[in-house]
Structure 1
Amino acid sequence: MFIQMIQGPCTRQDEAHQLLDEWRRDLAPGATGWLGGTYGFTDDNQLVGVVRFESRELAMANSDRSEQGEWAAKMAEVMDGPMEFHDCDDVSLMMDGGSDDAGFVQIIRGRVDDPSRLKAMMADTTMLHEARPDILGATLAIEADGSFVETIAFTSEAEARKGEQVEPPEDVRSELEYAMKGATYYDLHHPWFESA
């Protein structure tokens, strides 16, 4: 799997949402390898999208389509500034990945010097699932330099905030502190989802 995170400032949220809906309706059928996406706006008017493709090659082939370029130009017009793109070939799923049933999504961007350590922490979900039933699933996407994008799907924001109060075991806490040091959190209070 290949994941691309897209983010940028956007106050024309209704128009941006409409354009993303148009992409799903009109362009997705021709986007070979597109699996789906998670989208939303943060409180400080950042549009964030985490888009999944079968491979980098298929994602880039989609970007090269003329109709994709025309759509991207329209999207740029409703943004308040340039969009950032983060491309990740190294993708892990936690508890079957995300969920279109999520009522709240948190996207975390950070960087680690040992991606294998982060992946090992994400792979051991048995204890986490028991302690945090509010987590429906997650994806972890890592760039070559150790930068990562983690997308966590929660049942609801209220349950997520309650779950945050649960004190993890000492060994888990130290791993979390390592992974999340200096990380940025993007809260999507009203996420929406698209699937192939």
Structure 2
Amino acid sequence: MAGFVQIIEFQTSRIEEIEQLGRPSRTEGGTPATFRRIVATADRDRPGTYFTIVDFDSYESAMENSNRPETSEFAAKMAALCDGPLIFRNLDVLWEDTGEGSDNG
């Protein structure tokens, strides 16, 4: 397995507050992060709809992250700023291509 990705879909009219909430490292002064990368996105076709894409080495590291008190606290604060429920997609990565080293011409 090449990894694990969690996508969190949410709707909000308070995106600036969510961005501020997410800016400080949630692991400052604590244990190291279990994720590889987080990408925050806005849906161009549905204003007010956003996705956070979190890349993990494995499902296990994602569950370790989910079980942290600081993650639960962050999720509760984020949910309070949303206009509806958070929708979680839990995806096993089957393969990936970074585009590095490919012969494009």
Matched, 1:49 2:31: no
Q: Which of the pair is proportionally richer in helix?
A: 1
Larger Rg: 1
Structure 2 CA distance for aligned equivalents of residues 27 and 96 of structure 1: 30
Provide the residue aligned with 2:40 in structure 1: 39
Contact 1:27 1:68 in 2 (8 A): no
Cα offset for 1:88?
A: 1.1
- Flag the structure with more relative contact order, 1 or 2, with Cα contacts below 8 A and sequence separation at least 6: 2
TM-score (norm 1): 0.45
> CA RMSD of the aligned region, Å?
2.1
Matched, 1:15 2:17: yes
Structure 2 CA distance for aligned equivalents of residues 41 and 5 of structure 1: 13
Identity between Structure 1 and Structure 2 (%):
28
User: Unmatched 5+ residue regions in structure 1?
Assistant: 98-124, 131-196
User: Unmatched 5+ residue regions in structure 2?
Assistant: none
Cα offset for 1:76?
A: 0.3
Cα offset for 1:32?
A: 4.2
Q: Which amino acid aligns with 1:17?
A: E
Structure 1 CA distance for aligned equivalents of residues 87 and 17 of structure 2: 19
Q: Which amino acid aligns with 2:52?
A: G
Q: Which amino acid aligns with 1:27?
A: T
Cα offset for 1:34?
A: 1.1
Contact 2:7 2:54 in 1 (8 A): yes
Provide the residue aligned with 1:67 in structure 2: 70
